[in-house]
Amino acid sequence: MDSTNAKIKQAAAALKAGGLVILPTETVYGLAADAADSRAVAAVYAAKGRPSFNPLIAHVADVAMARRIARFDDRAERLAAEFWPGPLTLVLPVADEVAVCDLARAGLDTVAVRSPAHPLAHALLKAFGGPLVAPSANRSGRPSPTTFADAVDETGAAAVVVLDGGACAIGLESTVVSLLGEARLLRPGAVTRAEIEALIGPLSDAEADARRSPGRLTRHYAPNLPLRLNVTEPRANEVWLGFGATHWPGDGAEPFNLSREGDLAEAAANLFAYLRAADRSGASGIAVAPIPDTGLGEAINDRLRRAAGYVG
Residues 235-283 pLDDT 10s: 888 889 999 987 766 665 557 899 999 998 898 888 888 988 898 888 9
Q: How far apart are CA 25 and CA 86, in angstroms?
A: 9
Residues 174-183 pLDDT 10s: 999 999 999 9
Q: How far apart are CA 116 and CA 139, in angstroms?
A: 21
Residues 11-65 pLDDT 10s: 999 999 999 999 999 999 999 999 999 889 989 988 988 666 678 999 999 999 9
The pLDDT value given to residue 312: 42
Residues 214-242 pLDDT 10s: 655 555 667 889 999 999 888 888 889 99
**189 closest CA partner among 72, 20, 25, 21:** 25
Provide the phi-psi class of 168: left if phi over 0, else alpha when psi is between -120 and 50, else beta.
Answer: beta
* pTM score: 0.82
The pLDDT value given to residue 295: 82
Residues 120-176 pLDDT 10s: 999 999 999 999 999 999 998 789 999 999 999 999 999 999 999 999 999 999 999
Q: Which stretches of the chain are DSSP H helices?
A: 3-16, 38-48, 63-69, 74-83, 119-128, 148-155, 193-200, 264-279, 297-307
The pLDDT value given to residue 251: 60
What's the DSSP call for residue 82?
H
